[in-house]
Structure 1
């Protein structure tokens, strides 16, 4: 039987899906893999605890600062160009980080790496949205989201193995061929350029205010509940108020405030994402402590139990994305939020003798709920804006995710600090630690329940 040759459009779609999926894997993989290698990095470079924390924090702060400006730059100058630039920056800084001899150099390169991630994270999703028609977009975004969870799932295991066999520097060297391959595929096979806002000016003043506010927010959240943390959060709030006022007045804003004011589908979808990540991201952190301290599991066994959640996310996100091509995304996303609330409520009853099978089953439930929410919600965000706003929408969605993750970790940190205090977790305070875990999951359930409202009443994406 004669087989039709692939159309140029089909080839472009495959190339875009390949590079976007690979890059969506690389960022989360690097985060989770490096976290496992931190003790080895500390020993090799002679870092103190604060310096070591900045190996991870500098990366996240740089990503947070770069996401929204990157989206605007991509809309003006071309998404493929910004995507490729991000890959080059990320790959070169990762390779350079493998050869550092001081903690300062590593932290600086982690910041550069984070900026590279912000460039290709924002534009990867925008390119997929530009290329794939609405009837196939949900499936593509579902695969893209699944790759994020695969990166989070395999990062600790692969990072641990690489660190054990070849040293922590090998984690950064592995990014070399992955990044180079992505650059080659992008340049050779991803034809075309997308810059619907070409010719418009870039708002440098607004970007500086945004960057300063985001740095204050990220640094403040990382040192809560200290007084300095509270002061930084207040400064961040003042900065964001100033930023929004500047954006309203600017003829070419880096962030179009009208998207949040006039586009209810976009605004409510972003708020739902913020609340969902605020509720769910700290689950792994809290359950890792619970399984090791209360259940007495060794780290590797606790890690295997915790993999149940991201594995379910990776398995079901593409299916949820495909389903959102046919079913109104708000219905699927709201159902996913409901399932997540149920899972959080189960964990509010954790005790010293909760069966391990029951915990694993609930992690599976949480993974299913998050997969059902994430891909359809992303499809709603990207489908609710005009083509010239794809980069901005993608950057905003990624920023909501990062802000939610920071909120979730800050909530867990504050609850532990208030109820356990500045003590090592030990048998004499296990009762207070369990109360902290249950309290944190109660807050998470309430946040997720509020998210159902925004998800359900965002309005219809399709008429």
Structure 2
């Protein structure tokens, strides 16, 4: 069993903090990156395993669904047994499942291994930001959250490029095999993670099952909607989501540390931060799905050119995210988030209304504006979300933060699919998707700014 250290009342000493953040960085980067790293390998997997392309997409979906259905249960478990234990076990499961993915010789075995890998990733994501709160002192929490946001943001856009780089020199199983040495390194570093609060309360297995059913049906319903399934199929999934969701909320009412953190959602600043997060990631995913279509279909750019034109977003975000995290320790995060989301909305609207033959510079500065806006928002939002929850409920806050991100991304992908489909009758679906994203980002900016009043009342 890995050694753990007791956390001081207000964060870890600088030396141990560095090593603890190294463990966090490697593990969470692997978990986030693996949600998309396999995308570029799907054609090769289909060919080698003799599977239909429509079936191979389950390699991606199995990971995402397993992750989102288990985030809140693992966050709740972390409050009971310790966040560092859930993190370490999740990392071990993720690493072992990565080896199983690399050794898979059939599509069913690969899908099963990816689902297990997704459960391991959920163990990491569910308590990731809760550990940040124990690693960093309160006065420097924005800096820690900014560093973590930088790692998550970089990993979220690094998946396809890393996958392409591996495929350029090796066969597709190596996309998963490279996780083994990195995972073992993170496991070795996990002994520096702080010992966190244990509630000692009984784990609510029934609520965990209700939570899995609620978010699983929501995710599957959005996926069916995106794929153009019959209306009655989508309605069945939505009805199931509402039914299980209502049962989950009723079961959580009055519990001291509910699995679905309804106690935290009663805190106005926390609830507004969750709503802002969902809207912002919805807008981000709308942009990421729409930009390749906009650049290639509407503007006639090649696939390589499109990739280069999207690059300013992550490059600027890498600079802005840690800076905004530091600013959040001194400036109200609601204000920083509102300004950032307004910049994101403006950038997406400008991309949607590009001239017919724009230069690379005209495209690039608009994309960079989007990245700067998102980077200015993310770290302050995560900081205020964590800080608004009691420290012993850091697990619930962390689980909701990751759930909000995945729900926003799933919703954004569904809306982008709708905008790009013939259903709306639009000849320029990519521009429509960008305008929808701009509207969602503008709404998120208003919600973020409303936290100024909520903070004053608090």
Q: Quickly name the TM-score band, shorter chain normalised.
A: over 0.9
Q: 1:237 to 1:353 in 2, by over 3 A?
A: farther
Once residues 347 and 382 of structure 1 are traced to their aligned partners in structure 2, the CA distance between those partners, rounded to angstroms, is 33
Following superposition, the deviation at residue 9 of structure 1 comes to: 1.6
1:439 matched to 2:432: yes
For the 8 Å contact 2:290–2:434, the answer to whether it is kept is: no
2:119 to 107, 112, 115: 115
Superimposed CA distance per residue, residues 379-416 of structure 1 (whole angstroms, 9 cap, x where no aligned partner): 00000011111011011011001000011000011122
Partner of residue 7, structure 2: none
Q: Distance in 2 between matches of 1:21 and 1:48?
A: 36
**CA distance 1:460–1:252, change in 2 (3 Å):** closer
Q: Is the 8 A contact 1:71 1:392 kept in 2?
A: yes
Q: Find 1:233's aligned residue among 231, 235, 238.
A: 238
Q: Which residue of 2 aligns with 1:75?
A: 79
Give the 5 Å matches for 1:446-457. 446-457=439-450
Q: Taking structure 1 as reference, are residues 253 and 28 closer, same or farther at Cα in structure 2, changes over 3 Å only?
A: closer
How much is the aligned-residue C-alpha RMSD, in angstroms? 1.9
Contact 1:130/1:390 (CA < 8 Å) preserved in 2? Answer: no
Indicate yes or no: 2:292 matched with 1:288: yes
Give the C-alpha shift of residue 20 in structure 1. 1.3
2-side partners of 1:258 and 1:152: how far apart?
Answer: 30
Residue 402, structure 1, aligned to residue 406, structure 2 = yes
For 1:7-406, list aligned pairs within 5 A.
Answer: 9-187=13-191, 189-190=192-193, 192-197=194-199, 199-224=200-225, 225-226=228-229, 227=231, 228-250=233-255, 253-261=258-266, 263-350=267-354, 352-406=356-410
Gaps of 5+ in 1: 1-6, 422-431
CA distance in 1, matches of 2:444, 2:12: 41
- Answer yes or no: is the 8 Å Cα contact 2:12–2:136 preserved in 1: no
CA–CA distance in 1 between the matches of 2:243 and 2:431? 33
Are 2:339 and 2:377, in contact at CA under 8 Å, matched by a contact in 1? yes
Q: Deviations over 1:405-448 (max 9, x none)?
A: 01100001112224478xxxxxxxxxx442x2222222222222
Structure 1 match to 2:455:
460
Cα separation, partners in 2 of 1:248 and 1:433, compared to 1, 3 Å:
same
Aligned length in residues: 442
Change (3 A) 1:246 1:403: same
Task: Tell me how far apart the structure 1 counterparts of residues 201 and 433 of structure 2 sit (CA, whole Å).
Answer: 45
CA distances 1:356-398 after superposition (whole Å, capped 9, x unpaired): 3222111100000000000000000000011111011011011
- Alignment partners' CA distance in 2, 1:328 and 1:251: 30
Alignment check: 8 A CA contact 1:76 1:200 kept: yes
More deviation, 54-63/342-351 = 342-351
Once residues 415 and 229 of structure 1 are traced to their aligned partners in structure 2, the CA distance between those partners, rounded to angstroms, is: 17
Q: Return 283-292 or 103-112, whichever deviates more.
A: 283-292
Task: Decide which moves more: 151-160 or 124-133.
Answer: 151-160
TM-score (norm 2): 0.92
Structure 1 residue 460, shift from structure 2 partner: 2.2
Cα deviation for residue 462 of structure 1 reads: 11
Secondary structure of the residue that 2:34 maps to in structure 1?
Answer: helix
Alpha-carbon deviation of 1:153? 3.4
TM-score by length of 1: 0.91
CA shift, 1:238, in A, is 2.4
Shift of 1:294: 2.6
- Contact 2:282–2:408 under 8 Å retained in 1: yes
Measure the CA separation in 2 of the matches of 1:143 and 1:249.
36
Is contact 2:101–2:113 with CA below 8 Å preserved after alignment?
Answer: yes
1:427 is matched with: none
Q: Which moved more, 1:400-409 or 1:309-318?
A: 309-318
What pairs up with 1:414-425 in 2 under 5 angstroms? 414-419=418-423
Distance of 1:380 and 1:21 partners within structure 2? 21
**Retained in 1: the 8 A contact 2:36–2:60?**
no
Shift of 1:103: 0.6
Farther-moved stretch of structure 1 (139-148 vs 27-36): 27-36
In structure 1, distance between residues paired with 2:352 and 2:239: 31
- Compare 164-173 and 25-34 and name the one that shifted more: 25-34
Q: Give the whole-Å Cα distance in 2 for the aligned partners of 1:461 and 1:207.
A: 35
